[in-house]
């Protein structure tokens, strides 16, 4: 729990935690923290997303998923939830990665476009109650996310408010982590899930996006399947030519943002804080953990 961790940090009972944006900007700008801790701020190697259960009839039409992308103001989330400490995401890579496709531009906030796409895909407010229907089914779904992450809870609330404006009812359910994974994610007992991926420096994403990785406990829990993406994921694993791999992953980036199996939300800044008695810290491409083996605490004099 982030609040409990912060209390332990302030008591110097723990040495190293990741701060929330509000902790970084407002609660650690004190003489105590400046004297006893060292703070860092750099782009994290990961992103936050809302993933759909693609076996759910509501989300099978890509136009619906594209409409939700237009309906959500991602800049609002970056400013309001992250306090500006992050960037809008356009896909499965972050801008610092060589696999990132700069030609993939984020869809702007456009509720009118969202409503047009929903209407085009057959969702209409026939009974004039403010919620869309199709084939007698209301467009209502629940977002689940894990307990103890305030950024995700607040993000879900913004999504809930923005989607209500285009006729989609959203409920939010917060679940304890172990149950969240074992009972809901692994068993695909969800409609939509708010989560994040931490990435490796190599862009291989076979386990997340290949259609063979949808069994219980595997990472393609959205149930995404695309023949071209499957082929490209395998090709990316089978060549050592980085330029060829760059073309492969740029194309994957393009397809995933177009098809929107996830609502790609933001790349948060990493905000670690470490007790100042630790020396040898170096900020690299992957953050501060890359040379962890060289960290040390000087012997007392």
How many CB atoms within 10 Å of residue 267?
25
Mean pLDDT of the chain: 96
Q: Does the pTM of the predicted model rise above 0.95?
A: no
- Least confident interval from 2-6, 18-22, 122-126, 142-146: 2-6
Say what percent of the chain tops pLDDT 90.
93
**DSSP per residue, 107-158:** PP--HHHHHHHHHHTT-B-TTSSSS-EETTEE-EEEEEEETT-HHHHHHHHH
Closest CA to 167 of 136, 109, 124: 124
pLDDT digits (tens, 9 = 90+) for 23-79: 999 999 999 999 999 999 998 999 999 999 999 999 999 999 999 999 999 999 999
Three-class SS state of 38: strand
- 135-146: b (≥16 Cβ within 10 Å) or e: eeebbebebbbb
C-beta of residue 266 within 8 angstroms of C-beta of residue 80? no
Confidence of residue 3 (pLDDT cuts 50, 70, 90): confident
Q: What is the mean pLDDT of residues 148-166?
A: 96
Share of the chain above pLDDT 70, in %: 100
In tens, the pLDDT along 166-224 reads 999 999 999 999 999 999 999 999 999 999 999 988 999 999 999 999 999 999 999 99
Element (H, E) at 170: strand 169-175
């Amino acid at each position: 729990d982030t609040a409990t961790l912060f209390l332990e940090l302030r008591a110097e009972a723990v040495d190293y935690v990741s701060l929330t944006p509000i902790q970084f900007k407002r609660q650690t700008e004190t003489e105590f923290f400046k004297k006893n801790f060292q703070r860092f701020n750099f782009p994290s190697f990961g992103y936050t997303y809302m993933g759909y259960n693609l076996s759910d009839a509501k989300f099978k039409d890509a136009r619906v998923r594209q409409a939700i992308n237009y309906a959500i103001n991602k800049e609002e989330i970056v400013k309001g939830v992250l306090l500006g400490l992050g960037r809008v995401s356009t896909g499965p890579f972050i801008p610092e990665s060589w696999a990132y496709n700069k030609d993939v531009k984020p869809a702007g906030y456009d509720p009118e476009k969202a409503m047009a796409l929903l209407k085009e895909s057959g969702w209409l407010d026939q009974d004039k109650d403010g919620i869309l229907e199709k084939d007698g089914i209301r467009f209502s779904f629940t977002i689940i996310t894990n307990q103890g992450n305030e950024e995700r809870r607040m993000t879900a609330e913004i999504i809930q408010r923005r989607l209500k404006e285009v006729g989609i009812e959203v409920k939010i359910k917060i679940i304890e982590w172990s149950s969240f994974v074992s009972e809901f994610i692994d068993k695909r007992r969800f409609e939509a899930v708010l989560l994040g991926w931490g990435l490796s420096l190599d862009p291989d994403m076979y386990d997340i996006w290949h259609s063979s990785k949808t069994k219980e406990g595997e990472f393609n829990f959205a149930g995404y399947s695309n023949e071209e993406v499957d082929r490209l994921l395998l090709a990316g694993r089978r060549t050592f030519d980085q330029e060829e791999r760059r073309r492969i992953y740029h194309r994957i980036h393009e397809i995933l943002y177009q098809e929107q199996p996830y609502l790609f939300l933001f790349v948060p800044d990493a905000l670690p804080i470490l007790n100042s008695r630790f020396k040898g810290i170096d900020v690299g491409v992957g953050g501060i953990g890359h040379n962890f083996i060289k960290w040390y605490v000087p012997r007392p004099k």
